[in-house]
Structure 1
Amino acid sequence: MEHVVRRYEKYKDGILFMLIVSGLWPNYDEHPEKLKIIFSICSAVTTGGATLGMVYFCISNFTNVNVLTRGLGLMISYFSTFLKVIVLVYHKKNILKLSKGASAQFEEDLKTPANRPFLLAYFPTFSKFYYCFRYSVALNIFMMVLKPLLALRQGKYIRTYPVKIPFEYESGKELHDNYYLVKLLIIMNFHLLIGGLVHWIIYALEVAAGYYCWSVTVGVDTFFGFFTLHLVGELQLLSSRFADMKPDKNHRKIIKELVDRHNLLIEAQRTVQKIFGLLSVWLAITCAFIICAIIFQATETKNMTAYKAVYLLCYAFLKLVQAYSYAWYGHIITSERCLNEMYNSTWPGLGDVRLMKDILFMQSQKPLIFKAKSCMIVQLDMFTKIIHTSASYFFLLQTLDEGQIENFK
């Protein structure tokens, strides 16, 4: 199990790194509060600014369904990133509560080799979700950021995202007016410096927005999985201890510890709901539309290039992974195994009425269920509903587009 533990440590460090550089990890003892504030402001301002530019673009092209769809999908994605920054900053106390409660207990139990098979039973699946999502988002952002640089080969200056800048500027005018400076830059292979200063400042902000979109989106979504892994691992360990429980002189101490652990997990599950409940509802609503927008772009694009095809496939893949991972996280928390092991254990013969009442109370509890904002149970069927809703949105968009063509005729 040593190699699995090392993989877990790498997995944990990767998630925490993305949260730290995004200013969303509230452990002030290890990371200065001022640095955290600077990072969180950068992530909020860049993603929020990109969102506003896309909102302006969508408003300007409101009557054109094809163009509107292209901007609306990315606008929702970047607003979702901005929302995640706000939500995690708001819930910093709850995050600290989890990290010092159930997560700290998980890390302590992990030090005992006998506990590792139970604690890390589902880790391979969590790890696969993490790396698939991390690299697919990175590839998608990289392809968007690379697009303006590739356009330079044809002498075009384009924006990274479908945004509209609320002021006028001419790309490339400042340096193109200076013939000798342009020639010098070409000789020195500094082609990227040829262009207007305003254009490249905006491009730098777009790159920053893309970076924070990657770090915040991957960091926050896999952070949900990180806490879920701890809850599920502790439930597995708790179940095994109930299964192995035998009447002896230490049974009072053992059962008291198990009761306390169960209560800790119930409280941790409620805290996870508070942090990720709104984000789960938002994802269920918006993910369906974004997938629909991707399909609509793929079917309506007349001159599809290989570059755009790969981009759309990657974008669709990451949205599917994101939707399925949220649904699976909620599903895996729900388990009756712990309650079944309590029932099958030797507690009726312990003879201690108080402890028997505690166990009966634990058995009367329902399995842990992830309920987002008391309005939606996060289960695997949520993923199916998202796919069905995407199909409904797609047919609606096709109808609107056909109606627009008829009106144009």
Structure 2
Amino acid sequence: MDIKANDPRNKQATTNASMIRYRVYSRRVRTMLYLGGVLQDRTHSAIRSYITGSLVILMCLSYCIFLMNLSRDHTDNLILMVKYFGLMCSFIAPALMSACFLIKREKLFELHETLNDLFEQELSRDQETALATLYAFDRPSYIVFFTVASTVLLYVCPPLISIIRQIVHHTEPRRYRLPFPAKFPWTVPINGGFLFYLHFLYHLFVGWWMLFTINSVDSLFGFYAFQISSILRTMSVKLANLRSRETFSETLKTCVRMHRRLLRCSHMLEDIWQLIILRMLLVNSILICALIFEASQFTDITINEVSLLIFYIALKLLQTFMYAWYGSFITSSSEHFCEGIYFSQWPDSSLDRHVRANVIVTMMQKPITIKALKVSSVNVNMFTNILNTAMSYFFLLQSLDKAG
């Protein structure tokens, strides 16, 4: 068994499979960005990007206004108010993501090109180390996509099935309903017709942006986090395995320069995603609390409502944990790199005083961390803090409900 495990052919086959998986991962993220209307690429014109991005913003924000209009009719019902507020917070997300990507368009170009060049360099030298943590980033994106898709379909499928059933069975009078709750300033017919189907199409588009825009932006953050952490880990391994003093000196100089570029990339990543992460910090704890409170108040609940609540709560937990997990990966890889320099043979190498000074400065720097507007670090502690906050809000809502 040990001979087979150490067989170079098996290792090469595993590496090739990981390489194929990485290319598929990269293409999938790009495809989702395109379908979500937020792809920023030099091969696409700026006009096209602004048109699709503005469409996402317009449709999602307009739905939030219609939902707010509906919530005004139920100010005396705490459960419905909490439910509508939660939906409103969720549908703001695609609009915010699209706006951030349009505003930071040039930084996205620079971030993508810099990370892609650095990662491809390391990939050509050591594929096994560069792709070692691929599954930790690739698999969560599949899980989150499945959860988001299930949540959106649980909203869209029941009214769609109901419409098809009434048409097939020639039911009279027909009573149709839209996928998402909303109140328009005008009357929408419930017995079909062009106006109803136009509104139904509008809801389908809103659900489409919810599915692909949110999932693509979250996956892109994970993709960049994977590249940054993998580059740091390959540099750590490279420094630990060098034996020649002359080769070590040149490699150390290169690693210090690459660390500077990665530090700039992490600042750009933080700048682009800081509002998105801050919204998640503020909203997800409220949404988790609202969903648990909504579930605790139901006495007569359908299977569809149970499934919807379960998938929605799972989605918010997974989304929060995914960001926290990716941020922790970057910080951990940065710590390993600094330790790799510290325990290497740099004091005995033939480095000039300028390079030695840069090495000392690199070791003295704090590990790379992603922060949301300098308010909170994106790590596993952030996930536990959100859960604690959600439970505090839940007990507060229970107290208000009992007092009312």
Same structural fold, with TM-score higher than 0.5 when normalized by the shorter chain = yes
Structure 1 residue 132: Cα displacement = 0.4
Q: Does 2:124 correspond to 1:127?
A: no
1:165 aligned partner:
184
Distance in 2, matches of 1:353 and 1:107, equals: 29
1:136 aligned partner:
147
1:65 aligned partner:
78
Distance in 2, matches of 1:222 and 1:62, equals: 37
Distance in 1, matches of 2:107 and 2:158, equals: 40
Distance in 2, matches of 1:108 and 1:55, equals: 50
Structure 1 residue 168: Cα displacement = 1.9
Structure 1 residue 201: Cα displacement = 0.6
- Share of identical aligned residues, percent? 26
1:148 aligned partner:
159
Output aligned runs, 1:176-255, within 5 Å.
195-255=192-252
Shift in alpha-carbon separation, 1:24–1:104, aligned structure 2, 3 A: farther
Q: Does 2:316 correspond to 1:319?
A: yes
What code does the residue aligned with 2:156 have?
Answer: V
Match of residue 14, structure 1, among 7, 28, 33: 28
1:85 aligned partner:
98
Q: Is the 8 A contact 1:103 1:227 kept in 2?
A: no
Structure 1 residue 216: Cα displacement = 0.7
Distance in 1, matches of 2:48 and 2:157, equals: 29
Distance in 2, matches of 1:80 and 1:240, equals: 39
Structure 1 residue 253: Cα displacement = 3.0
What code does the residue aligned with 1:383 have?
Answer: F
Output aligned runs, 1:366-377, within 5 Å.
366-377=366-377
2:361 aligned partner:
361
Q: Is the 8 A contact 2:40 2:101 kept in 1?
A: no
Deviations 1:290-323 (A, max 9, x none): 1111112212122211111111111111111001
2:389 aligned partner:
389
Structure 1 residue 95: Cα displacement = 0.8
What code does the residue aligned with 1:167 have?
Answer: W
Greater mean alpha carbon deviation, residues 259-268 or residues 358-367: 358-367
Match of residue 274, structure 2, among 277, 281, 298: 277
1:117 aligned partner:
128
Deviations 1:201-240 (A, max 9, x none): 1110000010011111000111111110011000001111
Q: Is the 8 A contact 1:43 1:212 kept in 2?
A: yes
Deviations 1:52-109 (A, max 9, x none): 2112122332221011112111110001221111111111111111111123211333
Q: Unpaired runs of 5+ in structure 1?
A: 173-194, 405-409
Superposed CA RMSD? 1.6
SS in 2 for 1:111: helix
What code does the residue aligned with 1:204 have?
Answer: L
Q: Is the 8 A contact 1:327 1:379 kept in 2?
A: yes
Distance in 2, matches of 1:240 and 1:148, equals: 55
Distance in 2, matches of 1:372 and 1:245, equals: 38
Greater mean alpha carbon deviation, residues 228-237 or residues 240-249: 240-249
What code does the residue aligned with 1:18 have?
Answer: M
Structure 1 residue 116: Cα displacement = 1.7
1:105 aligned partner:
118
Q: Is the 8 A contact 2:111 2:265 kept in 1?
A: yes
Structure 1 residue 148: Cα displacement = 1.6
Q: Is the 8 A contact 1:65 1:400 kept in 2?
A: no
2:39 aligned partner:
25
Distance in 2, matches of 1:64 and 1:89, equals: 38
Distance in 2, matches of 1:70 and 1:147, equals: 19
1:350 aligned partner:
349
Length, aligned pairs only: 379
What code does the residue aligned with 1:56 have?
Answer: N
1:183 aligned partner:
none
Structure 1 residue 250: Cα displacement = 4.0
Distance in 2, matches of 1:299 and 1:132, equals: 26
Distance in 2, matches of 1:108 and 1:359, equals: 22
Q: Is the 8 A contact 1:66 1:401 kept in 2?
A: no
Structure 1 residue 370: Cα displacement = 1.5
Deviations 1:236-267 (A, max 9, x none): 01111211233444444322211111111111
Q: Is the 8 A contact 1:247 1:346 kept in 2?
A: no
Q: Is the 8 A contact 2:97 2:276 kept in 1?
A: yes
What code does the residue aligned with 2:81 have?
Answer: L
Q: Is the 8 A contact 1:239 1:342 kept in 2?
A: yes
Distance in 2, matches of 1:43 and 1:120, equals: 34
Deviations 1:140-169 (A, max 9, x none): 111111122234447432221121111123
Distance in 2, matches of 1:395 and 1:158, equals: 34
Distance in 1, matches of 2:262 and 2:382, equals: 24
What code does the residue aligned with 2:17 have?
Answer: H
Structure 1 residue 10: Cα displacement = 1.2
| TM-score scaled by length of structure 1 | 0.88
Greater mean alpha carbon deviation, residues 66-75 or residues 55-64: 55-64
What code does the residue aligned with 1:136 have?
Answer: T
1:192 aligned partner:
none
Q: Is the 8 A contact 1:70 1:162 kept in 2?
A: no
Structure 1 residue 22: Cα displacement = 2.8
